[in-house]
Chains A and B, each alone.
Chain A
Amino acid sequence: MANTVLTIDARGEACPIPVVRTLKALAALAGPGAVETLVDNEIAVQNLTRMGEGKGCSVTSERLGEKEWRVTVTTSVALGVSEAEAESATCEVPGEPGAPGASTAPRRVVVAITSECMGTGDDVLGRKLMGSFVYSLTQLDELPVTVLLYNGGAHLSCEGSAALDDLRGLAASGVEVLTCGTCLDHYGIADTLAVGEVTNMYVIAQRLTGASLVVRP
């Protein structure tokens, strides 16, 4: 028997908002209880079910009307849900972007730079291309959420990199610039990191799996 029941009216809200609000409500329970979420489409039911089951909760859903469902997520324990996890919640929407039923939520674009060079064949050209790519990011209408730099890509966020000014501009504009600490140590350039933060593989994995789109030049 659930101790506390919270009800959320997420009708009219686009994915992943119902999932985000439900996750936050589950965290707010701080113990056994249930969250009932009202939604107006079946995709939201599926995403809430997937999220709830993924958190080890029992999930039931009931159709209340032509465009109304109630999804009940019940937990027997206090759930740990970080703010970052809730904010990075994603959902799956069938069909192409822009198609009826597609998500209108902002994309979470993550750029993963794994080398100093873009492409293979000529490293001199490859470095020019990578510099051009990072510059091109600064010209996008919508900036990426995160730029990850690992393996050879770690050189780009360090002193002497031709991409440094562009990365600094991106970081100052709110783009999260994260460089792999293991990679900085491996190349002996940890002391020369000049933009963003050092990160680890757990955060890299979280950012990659939480992205709606991963771009790897």
Chain B
Amino acid sequence: MARVRVPSLVVTFPTTAAAMSCEECCQRRGLGGRMIPVPGEVAAGCGLAWKTAPEARDELAAALAADGVPVEAMTIIELLEFRCYEGTVPS
């Protein structure tokens, strides 16, 4: 198993409550992604962010807007992910 840097879309929010609302919104709509702590490359300080694939940006933005979840910023950065040598993620 190796860790590789993968481009990821990181969404930040003005409040922790908004981050939790994003998680609820995505789970309800079946959108992929996960909660992570805000990476230092994106913003200083602490907070929760939503991480997903860059190509999910438009669909996610539309879903959050429809649910009235305020977004602070969307940023694409590289984050470490576990990958098998064959290029698959662990099951």
Chain A positions near chain B (C-beta within 8 angstroms): 124-125, 128, 131-133, 135-136, 138-139, 162, 165, 168-169, 172-174
Q: Which of A132, A139, A162, A174 contacts B48 (CB 8 A)?
A: A132
Interface string of B67-91 (1 = CB under 8 A from A): 0000000000001111010000011
> Which residues of chain B from 34 to 91 have any CB-CB distance to chain A below 8 Å in the complex?
34-37, 39, 48, 79-82, 84, 90-91
When C-beta atoms are compared, the residue in chain A nearest to B20 turns out to be A128
Q: Contact between A173 and B1 (Cβ–Cβ < 8 Å)? A: yes
Q: Contact between B3 and A173 (Cβ–Cβ < 8 Å)? A: yes
When C-beta atoms are compared, the residue in chain A nearest to B49 turns out to be A132
Further 13 A-B residue pairs, CB within 8 A, beyond A135-B36, A136-B37, A138-B82: A124-B20, A128-B48, A131-B35, A132-B35, A132-B48, A135-B37, A138-B80, A139-B39, A139-B79, A169-B90, A172-B82, A172-B84, A173-B2
Q: Which of A124, A132, A165, A168 contacts B37 (CB 8 A)?
A: A132
Q: Number of contacts between A and B (CB, 8 Å)? A: 41
When C-beta atoms are compared, the residue in chain A nearest to B82 turns out to be A169
Residues of A within 8 A of B80 (CB): 138-139
- B interface residues, how many (CB within 8 angstroms): 18
B16 at the interface (CB under 8 A from A): yes
**A32 to B35 CA separation, bound complex (whole angstroms):** 59
Determine chain A's interface SS by DSSP, over half rule: helix
Q: Contact between A173 and B35 (Cβ–Cβ < 8 Å)? A: no
**A124 to B24 CA separation, bound complex (whole angstroms):** 13
Q: Which of A125, A131, A165 contacts B16 (CB 8 A)?
A: A125
Q: Contact between B1 and A172 (Cβ–Cβ < 8 Å)? A: yes
Determine chain B's interface SS by DSSP, over half rule: strand
When C-beta atoms are compared, the residue in chain B nearest to A168 turns out to be B90
A-B pairs with beta carbons under 8 Å apart, 7 shown: A128-B48, A132-B36, A132-B48, A135-B34, A135-B37, A169-B90, A173-B1
**A135 to B80 CA separation, bound complex (whole angstroms):** 10
The minimal Cβ–Cβ distance linking B17 to chain A, given in whole angstroms, is 10
When C-beta atoms are compared, the residue in chain B nearest to A174 turns out to be B1
Residues of B within 8 A of A136 (CB): 36-37
When C-beta atoms are compared, the residue in chain A nearest to B83 turns out to be A169
**A102 to B18 CA separation, bound complex (whole angstroms):** 46
The minimal Cβ–Cβ distance linking A204 to chain B, given in whole angstroms, is 25
Residues of A within 8 A of B2 (CB): 173
Residues of A within 8 A of B34 (CB): 135, 162
Residues of A within 8 A of B39 (CB): 139
Q: Contact between A128 and B35 (Cβ–Cβ < 8 Å)? A: yes
**A125 to B90 CA separation, bound complex (whole angstroms):** 27
